[in-house]
Amino acid sequence: MSQVKPLQFAYWVANVSGGLVISQIEQRTRWDAEYNRELAKIAERAGFDYALTQIRFTAGYGADNQHESVTFS
């Protein structure tokens, strides 16, 4: 008989310019490493288990800049 695993939560990391969304509209969300450290601490205190990062292998999706996903792993 398998054990029931608890529900786990994740949040999206702001690792692209524009923060959490790719848009031509000015965003209030930062995407630098210090901001992401702050978000990680808040998320851990709130009980989040994982952080999900956007990744781009080929082509583009409109972001001017992007941190490599493994930077925040």
pLDDT in tens, 8-43: 999 988 877 666 666 677 778 787 889 889 999 999
What pLDDT score does 45 carry?
97
What pLDDT score does 49 carry?
93
pTM above 0.85, yes or no: no
Longest Cα separation, the chain: 52
Give the separation between CA 3 and CA 68, rounded to whole angstroms: 36
pLDDT in tens, 43-70: 999 999 999 887 665 555 555 666 655 6
Tokens representing residue 26 in the block: 């000015």
Report the SS3 class of residue 52. strand
What pLDDT score does 25 carry?
78
- Could you tell me which residues are beta bridge partners of residue 10? 50
Estimate to the nearest angstrom the gap between the alpha carbon of 68 and the chain centroid: 11
Give the separation between CA 21 and CA 16, rounded to whole angstroms: 8
